[in-house]
Amino acid sequence: MAFLLIAGSPTSHSRSAALLEGVARQLQAQGGTVARLAVRDVNAQALLHADFSHPDIAATAAQLAQAEAVVIATPVYKAAYSGVLKAWLDMLPQAALQGKTVLPLATGGSPHHMLVLDYALRPVLQSLGARHILAGVYATDAQVQLPAEAAAPVQLAEALQQRLDDALRTLWSELRTSRRRQPSDSVAQPALP
């Protein structure tokens, strides 16, 4: 199973990216193949000037096209998702998420903006043709402790870890179901956990 994990924060020392990395480790431990895309690494001029011909735009769209499922993480910025994530999403083909299952994640300073997942991010993912958008996981900053060293695992509050575990179980189950619905897939697929 090929997952693309998309980090939507403009910062390098990022809580939402750390949360996403925690998910990456879990998916890999469960037998998933994980690719990573940090939107902050996409050429900034291409994003700001809507340069659709820039190779970064084509490369990231191709990376997305190869994924069976997507986990996308964003910080809450001014009661919405990050601007850099929007700038990149705007550059994608209209059906970029067609046939894909998406798990959205967000981190915010306070719990008051958890509806960003449903009222801001979800409609955009829907407009890109996502087949199934799972219930998202929202974390407050207090629930995500950034590791001192980049390579160390992120520390998550227990309640958050449980919600993440539930979300990943749902993600795998949804992917199993969707494979059963598409028996015409001629390519041999690896077994799912």
Q: For binding to ligand FMN (CB under 6 A), which residues are involved?
A: 9, 11, 14-17, 75-79, 107-110, 113, 141
| Structure letter (DSSP) for residue 54 | S
* Cβ atoms 143, 110 nearer than 8 A: no
Nearest to ligand FMN of 76, 168 (CB atom): 76
Numbers of helices and strands, H then E, in the chain: 7, 8
The pair of structure tokens assigned to 100 is 């894909």
Instruction: Give Cβ neighbours of residue 73 (< 8 Å, ≥ 6 apart).
Output: 5, 6, 7, 8, 9, 16, 17, 19, 20, 23, 104, 105, 106, 107
Residue 185 beta carbon to ligand FMN: minimum distance, rounded to whole angstroms = 35
Residue 145 beta carbon to ligand FMN: minimum distance, rounded to whole angstroms = 12
Nearest to ligand FMN of 1, 121 (CB atom): 121
57: Cα separation from own chain's centroid:
17
Residue 154 beta carbon to ligand FMN: minimum distance, rounded to whole angstroms = 11
Residue (of 108, 110, 107, 105) closest to 121 by Cα position: 105
Q: 144 by DSSP, 3-state: which?
A: strand
Residue 146 beta carbon to ligand FMN: minimum distance, rounded to whole angstroms = 8
Nearest to ligand FMN of 67, 76 (CB atom): 76
Nearest to ligand FMN of 9, 101 (CB atom): 9
Nearest to ligand FMN of 81, 172 (CB atom): 81
Residue 140 beta carbon to ligand FMN: minimum distance, rounded to whole angstroms = 8
